[in-house]
Amino acid sequence: MILDDMDKRRDRWLLAGLFMLLMVATRYHHFGSMLHLPDASWAIFLAVGFYFRSSLWLLSFLALAAAIDYFAITKGGSSGYCISPAYPFLIPAYGALWLGGRWFATHRDSGAADIVRLLAVAVVATSVCFLISNGAFYWFSGRFEQTSVAEYLARLWRYYPMFLRTTMLYVVVFAALHAIVAVLRDIYGHSGESA
């Protein structure tokens, strides 16, 4: 029993470490390029909600995201354009992703319908995150002299598909890896969970 608890704790820290490494590796270059993967942060916040019950994990990943942004701007030569009075709105935006992951963790039934449920939750949580973060940046950042609903909607349709596509790609990869690990655990008889 104690060994199982230790395995769960070890698995939890290992998974958190992998998510942190992925965030560091991809967030530093937000949009990706030929040399860099696109930012996995949004999918990571969703996954953290799924795997980790405590809101302390959300706070830890929020702090990590802020630290990465800080170092990317101050040491890495990245533009500070996105740092504005709207930046604190990333807290509720990422919180929406985390809550989506928490909701899915408590409403799954390990059946085939879970795939559809996961994708639906990911789309809804990503959309809410985008509306909060993008909307706050447009309306409150001070970067736009003239703001209008028509211009905002045009920007929304310009950027939203990219954010949704990137997040969904990572969600599908995470789900596939989760399924592979579950099968391997069944084959090799390991019953510990990492949630």
3-class SS string, 118-175: HHHHHHHHHHHHHHHHHHHHHHHCCCCCCCCHHHHHHHHHHHHHHHHHHHHHHHHHHH
Residue 67 — pLDDT band, cuts 50, 70, 90?
A: very high
Whether residue 94 contacts residue 55, with contact meaning beta carbons closer than 8 Å, is answered with: no
Average pLDDT over residues 168-187: 91
- In the chain, the amino acid numbered 35 is L
How confident is residue 104, by pLDDT bands cut at 50, 70 and 90?
very high
User: What is the rounded CA–CA span in Å between residue 13 and residue 142?
Assistant: 40
- Pairwise CA distance, residues 120 & 116, whole Å: 6
Query: Could you tell me the pLDDT band of residue 146, with boundaries at 50, 70 and 90?
Result: confident
Whether the pLDDT of residue 193 is over 70: the answer is: no
Residues 6+ apart with CB under 8 A from 12: 51, 52, 194, 195
pLDDT of residue 74: 87
Lowest model confidence (mean pLDDT) among 5-14, 62-71, 140-149: 5-14
Q: Is the pTM of this model over 0.85?
A: yes
Exposure of 89 in the CB half-sphere (CA atoms within 13 A) = 19
pLDDT bracket for residue 192 (50, 70, 90): very low
Residue from 65, 43, 9 nearest 130 by CA: 43
